[in-house]
A and B are shown apart, each in its own frame.
Chain A
Amino acid sequence: MGLFIEDYKVSGADTVALEDSIMQKGKQVTAGSRILDNFTSPFNATVVDRLLDGGFKISGRTVMDEFGLLKLSRDDDNTPSGALRAVSEGISAYALCNDLFGRYRGEAPKNDCCYIHPTYGTVSRYGLIPLASSMDQIGIVCKDLSQGFKLLSHLAGKDPKDGAMFPDSSYNYGTTDEKITLGVPRSVVEKADEGTREAIMDFIKEFSSTDINLEYFDLYNQVMYILSSAEISSNLSRYDGIKFGYRASGYTNIDDLYIKTRSEGFGLDAKLTAIMGAMILSKDQYGPYYEKAMKIRRLIKESVKFDTYKVIVLPCRISDDPYENLALYSLAPLAGLPSVSFSYKGHGIQLVAGVKKENLLLSTWEVSMA
């Protein structure tokens, strides 16, 4: 499979590839789904306008998994996603995408790239095809975090078109003199392979560090799946074959049109997520699953205090099972925190900091690379 749906044949240090979930006026945008067949975006996402205003060039639109959904199958296909390949193969300097379930955060270090997942509410979601709205966040694939944060400085800042944003009109990312103390959740790190464990132990030597216990870690993936599937199921309800996108043929009535359109238009992962979300939001399951998961989400958010430590260090892989690995990538979206992932001595490392503490992440990375 190619990496570009559309390749604009531009190159250079100021090129940015767009994952096919980010709207670009006049271009076909499908989020990797047949259900958006023939959909042409009538406007630019805010991030696209800001890229163009900042003098960046769009290098192309990259292929993606349907809507960026979690794939539960233990996939033998190790081909990196389009956005990752565009950057790792040097075709584009950067790529923008929405990494809800950790695919890009996991793949980036393996492909000599870095990933920046900014604080929720700092980058406009306007024009991003929604997945789980309370967690969606456009992030950056880059070769170098200091360059990636320079790009983020162009993108971040309040947009009146997105109702869930901090009021800051702009952000100037850079390093900080603030003392960095790393929090190391040993029980999580121990789940990683030997090479990653050694790399993390080596990494933390450069800093002061303290052992921490990530409370509720064993519930991260459940809470993440429950809340995201409920939100995704709700967001997928707009695809009905009436106003835009794919419409099946040969229907007998309106109900048949909906059913044929959605059954033919969605892939298996979208069908599973829509059905799981509908079940989780149903009268009998709402309390034990959805409401309880929202309460545990609060407990998770409040449990990471960033008091005796400022940056949490995590591995990028603890299992062959995508559902188990999801736990590693849930803290940032569930608590709205910034994170970065990158390769350190050949192994993937992920750092998570407090709200709007991106500068600590950049400083930690720079010290480790010195």
Chain B
Amino acid sequence: MPNIEDYEAMTKISLSEDERAVVSDYMDMLLDSFNKLEDTDVSGVEPLISVLDVKGPMRDDLVIKTISREELLSNAPEQHDGYFQVPRTVD
């Protein structure tokens, strides 16, 4: 069983004790169900990443106006001088 705290750290989520108990139970159930995959031989099979056989479209590299800086920043929890504001990241 993987260490759940490691994955909490990885996903920047801190579970309460109650949540950890519930998540842990579901993880056990899910991982147990995943064992069924072992019986299937996939040698020589390529992973299917997209169901579409269509080649990714290309477009001209043009500068186009989409959303203004003001509109984007209007959703920011905190902003300062036209930038997203974050706590100090470098000491």
Contacts and interface: CB of A to CB of B under 8 A. Distances in A.
Binding between chains A and B: yes
Most central of A166, A226, A276, A295 by chain B CB within 10 Å = A295
Interface string B40-51: 101001111111
B63 interface: no
B82 interface: no
Contacts of B57: 160, 163
Contacts of B76: 242-244
A299 B39 CA distance: 14
A259 interface: yes
A222 interface: yes
A121 B52 contact: yes
Contact of B54 (A165, A223, A258): A165
A285 B27 CA distance: 14
A318 B4 CA distance: 32
Contact of B45 (A163, A226, A285, A298): A298
B61 interface: no
Contact of B37 (A246, A255, A278, A288): A288
Nearest to B33: A222
A335 interface: yes
A279 B46 contact: no
A242 B14 CA distance: 18
Contact of B78 (A43, A247, A297, A298): A247
A323 B33 contact: yes
A72 B22 CA distance: 11
19 contacts: A216-B40, A233-B11, A237-B11, A262-B11, A275-B8, A275-B27, A276-B26, A276-B27, A278-B10, A278-B11, A291-B47, A295-B46, A295-B48, A296-B45, A298-B45, A298-B48, A299-B45, A335-B51, A336-B52
Interface stretch (A11-19, A53-61, A173-181, A264-272): A264-272
Nearest to B73: A243
A271 B13 contact: yes
Interface residues of A, number: 72
A254 B40 contact: no
B39 to A, nearest CB: 9
B37 A272 contact: no
Given A266-B13, A272-B26, A134 B37 contact: no
A157 B22 CA distance: 43
A216 B22 CA distance: 29
Contacts of B71: 42
Given A242-B84, A268-B22, A278-B7, A40 B74 contact: yes
B48 A297 contact: yes
A292 B42 contact: yes
Given A42-B72, A121-B54, A263 B22 contact: no
B89 A336 contact: no
Nearest to A251: B87
B36 A219 contact: yes
A255 B49 contact: no
B2 A279 contact: yes
A264 B1 CA distance: 26
B67 to A, nearest CB: 5
A301 interface: yes
A367 B64 CA distance: 49
Interface in A294-308: 294-299, 301
Contact of A257 (B27, B29, B87): B87
A52 to B, nearest CB: 19
A255 B54 contact: no
Contact of A243 (B4, B26, B75): B75
B19 A271 contact: yes
Nearest to B75: A244
Contacts of A272: 22-23, 26-27
Contacts of B10: 278, 282
Contacts of B49: 134, 294
Most central of B11, B23, B42, B49 by chain A CB within 10 Å = B11
